[in-house]
Structures are given as C-alpha cells and as structure tokens.
C-alpha cells in the first residue's frame, strides 16, 4: 500500500497533467469550499458514468 504522501503527489501530477495548473487550483478550491458536497457529487458522477451490470 502506498503512503498518503505518494498518493497526493500522484493525484496532483494527474490533475495538473489533465487540467493544467489553473484549473487544478480551481478544482481544489471548489472541493475545499464549504459549498462542495463530495458525497452528493460522487453519487451523481457514478450514476451517470458507470454502467450498471446485471448479473
């Protein structure tokens, strides 16, 4: 298992590579603001982006 420091470093590298520095900062500010509900965002994101598998 990787350490939290390594995970944070890799996450920042991925964000910057895909969004650029400015949009990464905007994303981080949005998450850190009191108005961002991660649980609600996660629920909406996964409902829209992951196909439901029927077994």
Domain count, the chain: 1
55 part of a folded domain: no
Q: Note the pLDDT tens digit of each residue in 16-26.
A: 999 999 999 99
**CA angle, 19 as apex, 18 and 23 as ends, to 5°?**
165
Higher pLDDT, 39 or 6: 6
For CA atoms 18, 15, 44, 35, the dihedral sign is negative
pLDDT bin (cut points 50, 70, 90) of residue 51 is low
pLDDT exceeding 90 applies to what percent of the chain?
Answer: 49
The structure tokens 């991925």 sit at: 14
Q: Which domain holds residue 18?
A: 4-49
Q: Say yes or no to pLDDT of 33 above 80.
A: yes
26 part of a folded domain: yes
pTM: 0.64
d(CA 41, CA 39): 5
């Amino acid at each position: 298992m990787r350490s939290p420091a390594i995970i944070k470093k890799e996450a920042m590298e991925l964000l910057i590579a895909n969004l650029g520095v400015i949009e990464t900062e905007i994303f981080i500010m949005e998450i850190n603001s009191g108005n961002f509900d991660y649980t609600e965002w996660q629920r909406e994101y996964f409902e829209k982006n992951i196909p439901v598998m029927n077994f």
